[in-house]
Amino acid sequence: MPTSPTDATSTAGARPDVITHFEEIPWGASASDIRARHGDALAEETVVHGVELAYHRSVNGQQVEAEFTVHRDHGLIVGSFVVPFKGPEECGTLFTTWRDAIDKRYPNLTAREEQEVEEDGVSFDEAFARGEASWCVEWDDPSNLARIELLVWPSAEVFWVSYYGPHADAWEEERFQAELTNGDEASAS
pLDDT band for position 125 (50/70/90)?
confident
Question: pLDDT by residue (tens digit) across 60-110?
Answer: 778 999 999 999 999 999 999 999 999 888 999 999 999 999 999 999 999
For 142, counting Cβ atoms within 10 Å of its Cβ (0-12 exposed, 13-18 middle, 19+ buried), the class is: exposed
pTM for the whole structure: 0.84
Contacts of 176 (CB under 8 A, 6+ apart): none
State the Cα–Cα distance between residues 141 and 88, nearest whole angstrom: 30
Q: What are phi and psi of 27, to 5 degrees?
A: -55, 140
State the Cα–Cα distance between residues 95 and 141, nearest whole angstrom: 21
Look at residue 176 in the predicted model and tell me its pLDDT.
80
Fold of 43-188: Protein Transport Mog1p; Chain A (3.40.1000)
- Provide the pairing of β-strand 133-141 with 21-22: unpaired
Look at residue 8 in the predicted model and tell me its pLDDT.
47
pLDDT band for position 188 (50/70/90)?
very low
pLDDT band for position 35 (50/70/90)?
very high
Give me the amino acid identity at 153: W
